[in-house]
Structure 1
Amino acid sequence: MKKFFIRGVFVILLLIASYTAFGKANKRAEGRPNIVLIMVDDMGYSDIGCYGGEIETPNLDRLAANGIRYSEFYNTSKCNTSRESLLMGRYVNRVSEHKNFSSGPTLGELAQQAGYRTLWAGKNHNSIRPPERGFDRFFGIQGGLSNFFCPARKTADGRPVPYTGTSVNEWMVHDEWVELFVPTDPEFYVTDAITDNALLWLKEYSGEDKPFFLYLAYTAPHAPLQAREQDIKKYEGRYDVGYQEIRKQRYKRAVKDGVFNPETAPFHPQKITQWDSLSPEEKELEADRMEVYAAMIDRVDQNVGRVLSELEVRGELDNTLILFMSDNGANGSRGDEYKDYYTPTGNEQLGGMFSWEFLGKNWAMVANSPLGYYKKTSHEGGVCSPMIAYWPEGIPLKNGWVHEPAHLVDIMSTLLDLTDLRYPSEFNGEPAKPNEGISLLPSFRGEPLAVRKHKIGNDYKFGKMIRDGKWKLVQYKELGWELYDMEKDRTETRDLAEQMPEKVAAMKQAFSMWEQNCKAGL
């Protein structure tokens, strides 16, 4: 009798423990989702497999196949302004850059208010300090770029590395700010380190009964072109066929996969240098550059896979909203300014710690194909990037597409909608500038997005633009304004400005109003 009693008590305790564990898991499953926001740096529209690219990105392709993709997701055509726009939910132009942070809450502050553990690993490139603006933990760089193998301007053994630009080189490492981050690990690589820290945090907070908001801001594939040797080897010889052939292959795959309809998105006639006009030495160098660039994106995908694996092991992947995007299109710069600050040793291997190469205009236009132009312009190749949304419990669509225009400012509106938060009318005792986006949640359900109160616009460096429904008005440098019907001409090949001067005038007025709205309250 005593034996049966003890066994019965054991069974009851086991049931209680099982019920408690199930209850916690079920509470997490039925509650608000975890959020993983992934932003890469200077990646082209067609670089990843699910947008037509030949670069091996099985993990991102998996997210797309089991979620939705956006064909017209806009940014600000530049790293720092895009990141500010994302964090603050407002449009940013060349005169409002860095000046909006005092007039409203960040994504992190709102996520904290909603009960999330907030984590940020990677690039900042703005004036705020993440731990002071809503993020519980931060690992990464305050500035815009660094050497991928050694973020400081010297190595652990004292050897100098190439000039790293004029941006701030300060890092936060192990919760402390350091002016020069010199890793002692000979296997250090920034992309991996960003994920390493994120995974450590996820393990540290795994026992919490609250969801997490993780912002992974990878610096790849931003210059300098530096990648692990084993990743570069995967792409040896792949780009020997040259710019034109790779671009044609990408377009063919994109059309086959439904990314573009050739009737409404014809191949943009980019002015790319003819591959056969290059010398053998030039061809080899150009192909090598693209191999390293591809390897950098490949490594990002591998790290996305590491995050997915961790979430699967924890049983939390199905109730995690994952958003993947780029801050702008591929970069057309060559970046030779480092030569004024660094004396080559003659032993530099392209892609290694001691090389400092940029992608350049030709490959950038291939990376953004079939869209036109590149970073810092307001044509589609500069201001439009891939965006993937994955959330098994919240997005019933599989391998779906959203063809309505969306923007970085919409991420904050989506967070507000997801958590039933209200955007505050005041911030730090002052009137808050309004959130200017719309929620993307309807598109998760296959429904149309709401009508925008604030038009999508852009003004940075070489380009200006305003988007109003199907119409887009755009300007390159100081040339004339161009008008496109984006429903019939997604790739901006047929300028209608001369045929529709009244429409141009109306949209120029709308652009002026957009500019004024960006300046308001500064």
Structure 2
Amino acid sequence: MILLALVPLGLFAPVGRAAEPVPARPNVVVILSDDMGFSDLGCYGSEIATPNLDALAAGGLRFTQFYNSARCCPTRASLLTGLHPHQAGVGHMLAETGKPGYTGGLNSSCRTIAEVLKPAGYRNYAVGKWHVTRHAAKDGPKDNWPLGRGFDRYYGTIHGAGSFYDPSSLVRDDTMISPFADPSYKPATYYYTDAISEHATRFVGDHAKDHAGKPFFLYVAYTAAHWPMHALPEDVAKYRGKYDTGYEPVRKARFEKAAQLGLIDPKQPLSPQAGNWDAVKDKRWEAAGMEVYAAMIDRMDQGIGKLVAELKRTNQFDNTLILFLQDNGGCAELMGRTGNKEHQNIDRPEKPTFPVMKPEEFAFDGSVPKQTRDGYPVRMGPKAMPGGPDTYVAYGRGWANVSNTPFREYKHWVHEGGISTPLIAHWPKGIAAKGELRKQPGHLIDIAATCVELSGAEYPKTVDGHTITPLEGKSLTAAFADKPLTRDLFWEHEGNRAARSGDWKLVAKGPGAKWELYDIAADRVESTDLATKYPDRVKELAYKWEAWATRAKVIPWISKPDYVPAAD
């Protein structure tokens, strides 16, 4: 740790900048959003108001080729451990399969960032969506809950999705609580995004008061903007009518803005348009889904602003590395868009049809509640105008295509639209560059390696008799200084698979699908398959992928996944 403090700032400063002493070990804040696309932030091309994230980008760095693991559970497992998701035991979702890469939760061969940083003197806090254990019940095992994996404080949901007004599996530290019988947090209107922001802000303030002599690691995992489309009326009002012209004009505007910002190559075309706006029967309902989605992101950004303000108030901002990224691309899932037997396509009844719930009651077990707290049925389908607590609707494939501008495909798939994420890096005392872009390909496995380097922590080889899998990522400090991150990158999820070596990317959609080959430097939108033109390149990359898949416990893949994506 002492040696780290003496390393010259040349590790983090762009070439040509004067070297300065590296500050004491920084605090690290990792902020992860849910089911958002590459272009959904203002500083990445969007029309959505994200002034606080835009300010962090202006005062730091934006990465243009950063990658996640295509879906919620695998990304979270990979981010927390610095391993590929299969190595951490979460190669698919959270079903126990008996296969080492698919154990349904973090395994004993991995260590979370919090577990590694704790022996180095860090305090560790987690807020928001956990979703890396199959045990989400209040009376089940808790060894894979946050406090069992190195965190000192936690507020959030163990489960992966749910109502923003009444989230299931809500936990404070190790105790499951009802959001309406919580003596520690009593807002006038409970909204989960606000609760996440409030508790992240509290943890920062409490740390400054009670543990000022120690650095901290804070993991903030928002559920915005995952379905259901739930947002507060005052935020939705800002976007009313903004999407009435449909998908194509918004995509074009985002493309032009992203190109102007230098984030994409304007010489490369947009990916094909998904959805025909002229054929949409209920344009008001369709546009409302995107209005609410935008409002969800807006509200998250407001909360990030409050967190930043607290870091500044407590004099911790300058020596805090803030990283913002997303867990996968925009989501084309059709949840709630047609309704089902329990949540029919019905109008809101004039009076409640269920008993009013008591504050201490738990609303439901799972993702979709049957009723609201005041007794109204939760509705799906085109009669359920998104936004309020009695609705449960996704924004759909057409808008997901907008979110992923300019790329192909969505969450689940490992084409660029499924795995490309913004990465904002801000650290006043450690990154001299302001408002610069970093075009080095990076991956969320690099975040744990970055934390280990900056903290001076020792990554263990064994713990309690278990051999610990070595870190897979590279520290991003080289990229902060605009130096290369040279290595091959690999992906697999649900049989979708990819390998990237330099500017060449090999990718396949679904089990048994043929490999496609793209020159990412010339064709990042993956429009021209070069597999038949360069068969030797395909063989070379396929061999590398097979070797990685064997080493990383990808093979054998689950024969019957618990989710089969809809056909494209």
If the length of structure 2 is used for normalisation, what is the TM-score? 0.79
Q: Does 1:225 pair with 2:229?
A: yes
Aligned partner of 1:512 among 535, 546, 562: 546
- Deviation readout 1:485-513 (Å, 9 max, x if unpaired): 11111221121101011111111111111
Distance 1:221 1:140 in 2: 16
Structure 1 residue 425 corresponds to structure 2 residue 461: yes
Return the offset for 1:345. Answer: 6.0
CA deviations over 1:12-37 (Å, ceiling 9, x no partner): xxxxxxxxxxxxxxxxx942111111
How far does the alpha carbon of each residue in 1:404-441 deviate from its partner, in whole angstroms, 9 at most, with x for none?
Answer: 11111101110111122232111221211111000100
- 1:266, distance to aligned residue in structure 2 (A): 2.5
* Matched letter for residue 436 of structure 1: E
Residue of structure 2 in register with 1:191 after alignment: 193
2:316 is the alignment partner of 1:316: yes
Question: Partner of 2:171 in structure 1?
Answer: 172
SS in 1 for 2:208: coil
More displaced stretch, 314-323 vs 371-380? 314-323
For residue 205 of structure 1, what is the aligned residue in structure 2? 207
Name the SS for the 1:387 alignment partner: strand
Q: In structure 1, what residue type is equivalent to 2:259?
A: V
Residue 413 of structure 2 is aligned with which of 364, 377, 383?
377
- SS of match in other structure, 1:213: strand
Amino acid at match of 2:50: T
CA deviation string 1:351-390 (max 9, x = no partner) = 0000001021111011001011110000011011111000
Q: Which residue of 1 aligns with 2:525?
A: 491
SS at match of 2:223: coil
Contact persistence 1:397–1:446 (CA under 8 A): no
1:479 pairs with 2:507: no
Counterparts of 1:521 and 1:376, CA distance in 2: 18
Structure 1 distance, partners of 2:455, 2:109, is 22
- Code of the residue aligned with 1:426 in structure 2: it is T
After the TM superposition, which of the residue ranges 367-376 and 476-485 deviates more from structure 2?
476-485
Q: Distance in 2 between matches of 1:419 and 1:38?
A: 18
Q: Secondary structure, in 3 states, of the residue corresponding to 1:300?
A: helix
C-alpha contact 2:285 2:385 (8 A) present in aligned 1: no
- Corresponding residue for 1:125? 131
Aligned-residue Cα RMSD (Å) equals 1.9
Amino acid at match of 1:51: Y
The offset of 1:182, in angstroms, is 4.3
The amino acid of 1:480's aligned partner reads K
> What residue number does 2:47 align with?
54
Deviations 1:153-199 (A, max 9, x none): xxxxxxxxxxxxxxxx42213x3422755457551100000111122
Q: Distance in 2 between matches of 1:460 and 1:136?
A: 31
Q: Secondary structure at the match of 1:411?
A: helix
Q: Give the Cα separation in 2 of the matches to 1:431 and 1:323.
A: 29
Which of 243, 258, 266 is 1:239 aligned to? Answer: 243
Correspondent of 1:268 among 271, 277, 287: 271
* 2:287 aligned counterpart, secondary structure: helix
Matches of 2:149 and 2:298, distance apart in 1:
32
Is 1:73 the counterpart of 2:77? The answer is: no
In the TM superposition, residue 277 of structure 1 has moved relative to its aligned partner by: 2.3
Larger gyration radius, structure 1 or structure 2: 1
Aligned to 1:157: none
Distance 1:428 1:417 in 2: 23
Match of 2:449 in 1: 413
CA contact (8 A) 2:447 2:473 kept: yes
- Of 25, 32, 51 in structure 2, the residue corresponding to residue 32 of structure 1 is 25
Using the TM superposition, give the Cα deviation of residue 116 of structure 1 relative to its aligned residue in structure 2, in angstroms.
1.3
The secondary structure found in structure 1 opposite 2:239 is coil
Q: CA deviation at 1:341?
A: 2.9
Amino acid at match of 1:445: A
C-alpha contact (below 8 Å) 2:225/2:296 kept by paired residues: yes
Query: Structure 1 399/372 Cα, relative in aligned 2: closer, same or farther at 3 Å?
Result: same
Preserved CA contact (<8 Å) 1:433 1:521: no
Q: What amino acid is aligned across from residue 423 of structure 1 in structure 2?
A: Y
Between 344-353 and 508-517, report the one with greater CA deviation: 344-353
State the SS of the aligned residue for 2:517. Answer: strand
What corresponds to 2:88 in structure 1? none
Matches of 2:294 and 2:329, distance apart in 1: 15
SS of equivalent to 1:36: strand
CA contact (8 A) 1:76 1:82 kept: yes
Query: Taking structure 1 as reference, are residues 31 and 245 closer, same or farther at Cα in structure 2, changes over 3 Å only?
Result: same
Secondary structure of the equivalent of 2:53? helix
Deviation at 1:287, TM superposition (A): 0.5
Q: Check whether the contact 2:236–2:292 (CA below 8 A) recurs between aligned residues.
A: yes
Check 1:521–1:119 CA distance in 2 against 1; reply closer, same or farther (3 A cut). Answer: farther
Deviation track 1:60-92 (CA, whole Å, cap 9, x = no partner) reads 000111111111111111001100001111112
Q: Give, in whole Å, the separation in 2 of the partners of 1:194 and 1:340.
A: 32
Residue type of the alignment partner of 1:146: G
Q: Which moved more, 1:479-488 or 1:39-48?
A: 479-488
Go from structure 1 to structure 2 and tell me whether the alpha carbon gap of 1:358 and 1:462 turns closer, same or farther (over 3 Å shift): farther
2:562: which partner in 1?
none
**1:520 CA displacement:** 8.1
The whole-number CA distance in structure 2 between the counterparts of 1:100 and 1:192 is: 28
In structure 1, the gaps of 5 or more residues are 1-28, 152-168
- Cα distance in 2 between the residues matched to 1:180 and 1:201: 20
Counterpart of 1:303 in structure 2 is 303
Letter aligned with residue 396 of structure 1: A
- Tell me the residue number matched to 1:136: 152
Determine the structure 2 residue equivalent to 1:339. Answer: 340
SS in 1 for 2:155: strand
Query: Structure 1 pair 205/422, CA: closer, same or farther in 2 (3 Å)?
Result: closer
Q: Deviations over 1:181-234 (max 9, x none)?
A: 545755110000011112222222213211111111000000000000000000
1:125-178, Cα deviation, whole Å (9 max, x unpaired):
111210011000010100101100112xxxxxxxxxxxxxxxxx42213x3422
**Structure 1 stretches of at least 4 aligned residues deviating more than 4 Å after TM superposition:** 179-186
| Cα distance in structure 2, aligned partners of 1:234 and 1:439 | 40
Identity score, percent: 40
CA pair 357-521 structure 1, distance change in 2 beyond 3 A: closer
CA distance in structure 2 between the partners assigned to 1:340 and 1:106 by the alignment? 41
**Partner amino acid, structure 1, of 2:169:** E
Contact 1:170 1:177 in 2 (8 A): no
Give yes or no for contact 1:372–1:381 (8 Å, CA) kept in 2: yes
The aligned amino acid for 1:471 is W
One-letter amino acid of the counterpart of residue 64, structure 1: A
Residues 266 and 276 (structure 1), Cα distance of their counterparts in 2 relative to 1, 3 Å cut: same
TM-score normalised to structure 1 length: 0.86
Determine the C-alpha separation between the residues in 2 that align with 1:438 and 1:254: 27
Which structure dedicates a bigger proportion of its chain to helix? Answer: 1
Give the residue type in structure 1 aligned to 2:198.
Answer: D
Paired residues of 2:339 and 2:345 also in contact (CA < 8 A): no
Letter in 1 for 2:343: Y
